[in-house]
Amino acid sequence: MKTLDQLKPGEYGVIKEFTQRDLALKLIEMGCLPGEKIKLTKIAPLGDPIAIEVSGYELSMRKQEASAVMLED
């Protein structure tokens, strides 16, 4: 199963579900909903964190958090 942290810059994905409850609550209120199309926009110079485009804005999160976001195949 693919997770958000595996995307490369410029690649798209669709959020399927979350594997961490607390994080899910935070991400959902930031507009990261299951079914939402996202794009990985950039990775920080040291390889972490990453930034994604979601509901029209840019959101950054650590790779560890991104690994809790499952994507549609």
Partner 1 sequence: MSSGNSQIKTISVALLGNPNSGKTTLFNTLTGLNQKTGNYPGVTVDKHVGFTKTKRADNEVKLQITDLPGTYSLFPKSLDEEVACKELIGFHSAPPDVAVVVTDASTLKRHLLLATQVIDLKIPVVLVLNMIDEAQKLGLKIDADEISRLLGVKVVMVNSRSGEGIDELKSKILEAKESTNTFIESARIETLKQDLKNYKDIVTAQFDADIDLKNKLNQFEEKDTFYRFKTINYIFARTVKSPLEGTRKLSFTIDKYVTHPVFGYLTLLFVLFSVFQFIFFLAEYPMDWIETFFSFLMQKTSDTLPQGEVSDLLVNGVLAGLSGVIIFVPQIALLFFFIGLLEDSGYMARVSFIMDKVFRRFGLNGKSVIPIVSGVACAVPSILGSRTISNMKERLITIFIIPLMSCSARLPVYTLLISLLIPDDAVLGILNLKGLTLFGLYVLGFAATMLTALAMKYIVKSKEKSYFVMELPVYRLPQWKSIGIIVVNKVKVFLWEAGKIILAVSVILWFLSSHGPSDTFGKVEENFAQQMTNVDGEEAKKDLIKKMESQKLEASYAGILGKKIEPVIKPLGFDWKIGIALITSFAAREVFVGTMATIYSANDSENISSVREKLISEKNADTGKPVYNTAVCLSLLVFYAFAMQCMSTLAVVYRETQSWKWMTSQLVYMSGLAYFASLVVYHIF
The residues, ordered by sequence, that sit 6+ positions from 11 with a Cβ below 8 Å of its Cβ are: 39, 40
- Binds partner 1 by CB under 8 A, chosen from 4, 5, 15, 65: 65
Contact call for residue 17 and partner 1 (CB under 8 A)? no
The residues, ordered by sequence, that sit 6+ positions from 9 with a Cβ below 8 Å of its Cβ are: 40, 41, 42, 43
- Residue 27: Cβ within 10 Å count: 23
Task: State the number of binding residues for partner 1 (CB under 8 A).
Answer: 31
- Binds partner 1 by CB under 8 A, chosen from 3, 16, 28, 67: 28
**Residues within the interface to partner 1 (CB under 8 A):** 21-31, 33, 41-42, 44-49, 51, 55-62, 64-65
